[in-house]
Structure 1
Amino acid sequence: MNTISDPESGQVVVEHRPHGLQIQTRTYALTLDYARPFALLTDQDGQPYADLFLAPSLNTTAGLDRTARLNPPTLEQEPGALTLRFRLEGGVWEHKELVLRCDPLGIDGHVEVKGEGHLTDVVLFGGQYSGHLRWGSGFFSSGAHFAEVFNPEPYGRERRLLPATESSAIDVMGTSLPGKGHWFFTPAPLVYAFRLGGNGAGPNLGADQGGAPEVGAAGEHTPQPTPAAGWLSASVVAPVEALNFTSFHYDAAEGAFAFRLAYEGQTRVTGQFRTPTLRLAFAADPYEAVAQNSARHAEQGYTQPETGTRPDWWSSPIQCGWGSQCYLSRVQGGRAPDHCTQANYDGFLEVLAAQHLLPGTLVLDDKWSAAYGTSEVDTQKWPDLPGWIARAHQRGQRVLLWWKAWDPEGLPSEACVLNDLGEPVAADPTSPVYEQILRQAVRRMLLEYGADGFKVDFSARTPSGPGLKRHGEAWGIQLLHRLLWILRDEAKRCKPDALVMTHTPHPVFANVSDMIRLNDVNTGADVNEQMIHRARVARAALPHHLIDTDNWPMPSLDAWRSYTRLQPQLGIPSLYFVTHIDGDGEALTAQDYDLIRTTWAQWTGIRNELRSGR
């Protein structure tokens, strides 16, 4: 036995065996049998969770990668950790190694290759293999001993816990079309969590005996008792520069799985390349797994710590006109964006003022601008936008402008991602032409019009697919981060207290967002349950960011009332309706306005308590 330290002391033990080895820590064990291309991962009690396949494939546009020989690992010892390097022979690369670094709390895995090619899919713990003839040849997967899989990304059906045999994805795309109904967080934390058993109840949403969610009243994380770790997590931990893929897939089959990063032929390797780290660790529940992922990013220096004080106005109640625009579309016809007019918004504020409601932040939603790509005001709909914003300031209110990410409307082709026909698909944040246009637009919106920040929407329209052409190298998650970085960087140059609201609860997006919006409600599922889940994910991933609780759409007035009562416990109350619910046209009553006043007052009290440090 070669001992680095006693596992009970929180370190690592390695035991060499005749045909393999075992690594033991106080939280897990990893066992290798050189007669099989797998490593068995068990928890602290010896319960199997996964047979990890050890011959990954990094496919390229030139062909599928494969492995013809998996060599026994070389071991590299360091204080408190042990690294295993498996040299893989065969395939499309000149050199390929799987690297597993085992520390007391988890395993960091990545692949290093040397060669040239345009990456399509990186398959981890799965791949094409012909190295053990006893087991045949072809594509091999890891073995799943777990029964259920947790995906933090909200999907249209709001199913957070899936059978282990069902594939899933976390990505930066989505729309209302089939198979794409997951635009709510882009990106969600790149974290999966796996559980052995399954009673069908799903992970605990954290309601205590009084019915309050586990997320603290102001969006702060509320400490909870930590039960024994019963979930295995698999999460990507990497700097934003390494997130050049669009999606992180869990590819499942009966009793089997693999992970896949989709690069879509858009990342060129010339020389050395290292995949992002995939960390395996155990957690008490899926939300703790998300928090561990966030903490790991911070430990590695991949996130930037918060600096400076947060302006008080950021946390004031929000009124967004979108729900009322949708109601006007229902009763007057036309599309909801047609009803984003100065006259209508004046009417919204008159109703609220008559009810003694003065929201601190106003959001002008879709479509106040003449063209999405250039963000110039539509003077037919808003004849005096600067004056309107100035009057809001005189009342003590701040104004956010809805900003549609990616839309190329009004942009020249040299500012856009183009398809094979040379047609614009999306704005290109790697284009110097577009960066100049965007920075000019930000200065116009904040300095000329007088706005105080932005509500960013449609970040799920991140361009995706082979053959698309752009100016620079960034792609996928990194490309979205680049877009938001330009927007926020210029906003802070114009107004240091400018507020940028996004729905990107991922640790590396901490420096491009000031507030996380929980995004649209799925009306086919329980409203409170889904929004509690989203708030818990956002809080675990970005524990210091404010949360906009959103408020639209609503299946009924009763559902709206129930969620309105809950909002102050999740984050900043947000109001999308002023006279009616748009879904069924139900009218707000005097008691409903009382409810809004009560919840806003409750939130103000919570906010004041936080300021005083109580």
Structure 2
Amino acid sequence: MHTMTDPRQVSVERGGAALRVCSPAYRLTLDQDRPFARLEDAGGHVFTDLFLAPSLHTTRGLDRTARLHPPEISEEDGAVTLTFRLEGGIWTHKRLILRCDDAGIDSHVEVSGDGELTDVHLFGGHYNGQQRWGSGFFQSSAFFTRVFNPEPYKREHRTIPAAQSTAIDVMGTSLPGKAHWFFTPAPLVYAFQQELLEPRLALGADQGGAPEYHEYLRDELRAAPASRWLSVSVVAPVDELNFTSFHYDGQETAFALRLAYEGQTRVEGQFRTPTLRLAFADDPYDAIAQNSARHAQLGHTQLDQGALPEWWNTPIQCGWGAQCYLVRERGGRAPDHCTQENYDGFLAALDAHDLQPGILVLDDKWSAAYGTSEVDRVKWPDLEGWIARAHERSQRVLLWWKAWDPEGLPRDACVLNDLGEPVTADPTSPVYEAILRRAVRRMLLEYGADGFKVDFSARTPSGPGLTRHGTAWGIQLLHRLLWILRDEAKRCKSDALVMTHTPHPVFANATDMIRLNDVNIEQDVTEQMQHRARVTRAALPYHPVDTDNWPMPSMDAWRAYTRLQPQLGIPSLYFVTHVDSDGQALTPDDYQLVRESWAQWRARRGG
């Protein structure tokens, strides 16, 4: 190839019909005869041919591309920018921009027009611009074999085959296909790995497919797989995250990426998709750390919280596991057993074994109505006095707060369905914001609590047809909810603690502590929680971690995890006398194990 310019670490080369952008980390090669750009690492390992004609669908029609123009090239600020103009489809104007710096590639799409966005396909889309290649929906090639998704799923697979689809989102329940509520959201980061290709893939052309493709596979078999991972992640400010999910749509040898807007984002004039960052990393957790650092570098988040109150890092006792055990003993539902009398009993049992946690969590359901967070005086006749007495013992109290639940709210404070029925609270409603802020002041100033354990953030509203007061949706809407809660909490008490399970960089200003969330009892406990802790540390390195402690498949699993907790974060204890899953009683050795775990944590913290 003939080198046009090479004044910096990123250079542009031309040769025949090809154009190549080179950096110390990668090579991106375009061929004017194909609507793709081939991405290789520094060692020459091909990871993908990126399809360059995206589709941004709306409720009024499906988008497509009839012509992909050669890129306009500009060089400045140590980067090369390729701008592709696309014709055809439902938009007045559409452009794909690839900005190539020395470490990676930033990609986004700009359109002009009107419509409510539904699915935005990136590095994939409908195309009919070259008769040679036919027409239809095109995807990028997958020369990688495994895909890493940081969001914990029920099967706890850290990587899946490249031909399998997956998603990172802000929803989840225990229902089929939705058992991934543990992080909402996880970092919006996928990482692709190459493994040795199996010999059966290197078939001759008579087995189907283009001869040049099979020749490429044969060449790949002779080379070692790449040692690094290719990451594709969303790097954007929170007000651009108004989608509910980031999808990896895979099939054999191909993939595309998709953002689900669900018809809830109105474009009037100009629209720019969130930036996708492509970069190479040593491993998936390094990819998450890079994504987090990139957010901070661009001013999308402030990761460092500065000096933290000492009490934030003290051992936690949450009553939920003990409430669940009382169901075995007394019947009813676990929320029925969140009473002042029971919690006095929990503390007495712990005190008898010389266990004095620094943080106490009153769990579900201490309140009369989820939406208004007023205390249930039947269950808690003297909540204020109970919290005051905890303070006298140098213990702080968090109140469990259920996100999204509309119980007790007026309709104009809610997201509504087609029948005008409340679905969730609406953080864009001034009515709900006023209700929530009053509730926070009541809980912290009148009742005396010190912060909140947030749960059920996975009930983020999703789907077409739902109506709300403002424009925020998806991840942005969840952030709005948690930001209001935390903002008012800090107005009440500067050291108020808000605990969530949102290990995403833009949530740094909407949470103080990341909870690893419920244990998946169908899979290995210690492995899954180590993974969650690594994701959290990479995404929000300065936020403390609540290690959680419930549910547990067995007493042995509980003991193993209790030993591990100080290595992952703040020890958290959900059980008082028994493990609820099998009804086994804690022994003197078990209480000693907890004391040792807490002592280890204090030692790691320097006191």
Instruction: Tell me the TM-score normalised to structure 1 length.
Output: 0.93
* Secondary structure, aligned partner of 1:30: strand
- Residue 348 (structure 2) aligns with: 350
Match of 2:204 in 1: none
For the 8 Å contact 1:229–1:283, the answer to whether it is kept is no
CA drift at 1:608: 1.4
- Measure, in 1, the Cα distance between the counterparts of 2:258 and 2:151: 16
Q: 1:188 to 1:247 in 2, by over 3 A?
A: same
Instruction: Name which of 247, 254, 265 aligns with 1:267.
Output: 265
Return the offset for 1:198.
6.3
- For the Cα contact (< 8 Å) 2:303–2:542, is it kept in 1? no
2:362 matched residue in structure 1: 364
Cα-to-partner distance string for 1:503-526 (whole Å, 9 max, x where unaligned):
000000000100000000001111
Compared with structure 1, are the counterparts of its residues 505 and 91 closer, same or farther at alpha carbon in structure 2 (3 Å cutoff)?
A: same
Change (3 A) 1:311 1:605: same
What residue number does 1:490 align with? 488
Q: Aligned equivalents of 1:39 and 1:539: distance in 2? A: 34
Corresponding residue of 2:181: 183
Mapped pair 1:122 → 2:129: no
Q: Deviations over 1:276-313 (max 9, x none)?
A: 00010000000000000000001100002435421100
| Pairing of 1:54-65 with structure 2 (within 5 A) | 54-65=52-63
Q: What residue is the counterpart of 2:206 in the other structure?
A: none
| Displacement after TM superposition at 1:160 (Å) | 1.3
CA shift, 1:16, in A, is 1.3
Other-structure match for 2:522: 524
- Report the Cα offset of residue 17 of structure 1: 2.2
Q: Kindly tell me: are residues 561 and 307 of structure 1, through their superposed partners in 2, closer, same or farther at Cα, counting changes over 3 Å? A: closer
- Residue type at the aligned position of 2:115: G
Q: How do 1:437-452 and structure 2 match up within 5 A?
A: 437-452=435-450
Question: Match of 2:6, as an amino acid?
Answer: S
Q: Which residue in 2 is equivalent to 1:152?
A: 150
Partner amino acid for 1:375? S
Residue pair 2:54, 2:126 contacting (<8 A) in 1 also: yes
1:115-264 aligned within 5 A: 115-197=113-195, 230-264=228-262
Which digits, 9 at most, give the CA deviation of each residue in 1:461-494, with x for residues without a partner?
A: 0000001000000000000000000000000000
After superposition, residues 456-471 of structure 1 pair within 5 angstroms as 456-471=454-469
Instruction: Give the structure 2 partner of residue 545 of structure 1.
Output: 543
* Counterparts of 1:394 and 1:385, CA distance in 2: 14
C-alpha distance in structure 2 between counterparts of 1:413 and 1:79, whole Å: 52
Cα offset, 1:331, TM superposition: 1.9
Whether the aligned pair in 2 keeps the contact of 1:170 and 1:247 (CA below 8 Å) is yes
How far apart are the structure 1 equivalents of 2:3 and 2:73?
11
Cα offset, 1:228, TM superposition: 8.2
Aligned to 2:606: 608
516-525 or 305-314: bigger deviation: 305-314
The verdict on how the C-alpha distance between 1:458 and 1:198 changes in structure 2, with shifts beyond 3 A counting, is: farther
Deviation track 1:215-272 (CA, whole Å, cap 9, x = no partner) reads xxxxxxxxxxxx9851000000000000000000000111100000000000000111
Tell me: CA distance 1:52–1:283, structure 2 relative to 1, closer, same or farther (3 Å).
same
* C-alpha distance in structure 2 between counterparts of 1:314 and 1:28, whole Å: 43
Q: Is residue 38–residue 48 contact of structure 2 (8 Å, CA) maintained in 1?
A: yes
SS in 2 for 1:399: strand
One-letter code aligned to 1:144: A
Name the CA distance, whole Å, in 2 between partners of 1:301 and 1:276. 15
Amino acid at match of 1:505: P
TM-superposed CA distance for 1:5, in Å, is 3.2
- Quickly say closer, same or farther: Cα 1:380–1:466, change in 2 above 3 A: same
Displacement of 1:538 in angstroms is 0.1
The alpha-carbon deviation at position 332 of structure 1 amounts to 1.2
1:294 to 292, 295, 307: 292
Q: Residues 303 and 540 of structure 2 are in contact (CA less than 8 Å); yes or no, is this contact kept in structure 1?
A: no
Counterparts of 1:45 and 1:496, CA distance in 2: 51
Letter of the structure 1 residue corresponding to residue 110 of structure 2: E
Q: Residue type matched to 1:444 in 2?
A: R
1:414 counterpart residue number: 412
Shift of 1:583: 0.6
C-alpha distance in structure 1 between counterparts of 2:585 and 2:591, whole Å? 11
1:16 maps to: 14
Counterpart residue number, 1:111: 109
Partner Cα distance (1:152, 1:24) in 2: 30
Does the 8 Å contact 2:45/2:226 carry over to 1? no
- Asked if 1:391 is matched to 2:389, the reply is yes
What is the rounded CA distance, in whole Å, between the counterparts of 2:562 and 2:43 in structure 1? 44
CA distance in 1, matches of 2:306, 2:450: 18
Does the CA contact (< 8 Å) of 1:547 and 1:571 recur in 2? yes
Alignment partner for residue 88 of structure 2, among 74, 87, 90? 90
- Cα distance in 1 for partners of 2:303, 2:187 equals 18
Match of 1:504 in 2: 502
Is 1:5 aligned to residue 15 of structure 2? no
Structure 1 residue identity aligned to 2:477: L
Q: Which residue of 1 aligns with 2:100?
A: 102
Answer yes or no: is the 8 Å Cα contact 2:170–2:474 preserved in 1.
Answer: yes
Q: Note the alpha carbon deviations across 1:73-132, whole angstroms, 9 max, x for none.
A: 000110310000000000000000000000011000000000101000110000000001
Say which is worse superposed, 72-81 or 236-245, in terms of deviation. Answer: 72-81
Question: Once the two structures are superposed, what CA deviation does each residue of 1:514-573 show, in whole Å capped at 9, x if it has no partner?
Answer: 000000000111100000000000000000000000000001111100100000000000
**1:460/1:4 CA distance change after superposition, 3 Å:** farther
Amino acid at match of 2:38: L
User: What's the CA shift string for 1:422-477, capped at 9, x where partnerless?
Assistant: 00000000000000000000000000000000000000000000010000000000
1:4–1:80: 8 Å Cα contact kept in structure 2? no
Say if 1:4 and 1:79, in contact at 8 Å, map to a contact too. Answer: no
* Cα distance in 2 for residues equivalent to 1:291 and 1:306: 14
Residue 414 of structure 1 aligns to a residue whose secondary structure is helix
Counterpart code for 1:475 = W
Going from structure 1 to structure 2, the CA distance change for 1:23 and 1:571 (only over 3 Å counts) comes to same
User: 2-side partners of 1:541 and 1:20: how far apart?
Assistant: 38
Query: Which letter maps to 1:126?
Result: G
2:316 pairs, out of 311, 315, 318, with 318
Aligned length: 580
Taking the aligned partners of 2:6 and 2:314, their CA distance within structure 1 comes to 52
Please report how far the alpha carbon of residue 199 of structure 1 lies from its aligned counterpart in structure 2 after TM superposition: 10
Question: Is contact 2:40–2:47 with CA below 8 Å preserved after alignment?
Answer: yes
The equivalent residue for 2:37 is 39
Shift of 1:18: 2.1
User: Any stretches of 5+ residues in structure 2 without a counterpart?
Assistant: 199-224
Q: Is the 8 A contact 1:229 1:282 kept in 2?
A: no
CA contact (8 A) 2:148 2:190 kept: yes
Secondary structure at the aligned position of 2:448 is classed as coil
Q: 1:145 to 1:305 in 2, by over 3 A?
A: closer
C-alpha separation between the residues in 2 aligned to 1:379 and 1:527? 37
Read off the aligned partner of 2:27 and give its amino acid letter. A
SS of 1:608 mapped into structure 2: coil
Amino acid at match of 1:536: R
* Cα deviation 1:293-351 (Å, max 9, x = unaligned): 00000110000243542110000000000000011112211111111011110000000
Q: Percent identity?
A: 74
**Cα displacement (A) at 1:34:** 0.8
Read off the aligned partner of 1:427 and give its amino acid letter: A
Q: Which amino acid aligns with 1:420?
A: D
Query: What is the rounded CA distance, in whole Å, between the counterparts of 1:395 and 1:279 in structure 2?
Result: 50
Cα 1:4–1:376 change in 2 (3 A) is farther
Contact kept in structure 2, 1:5 and 1:80, CA below 8 Å = no
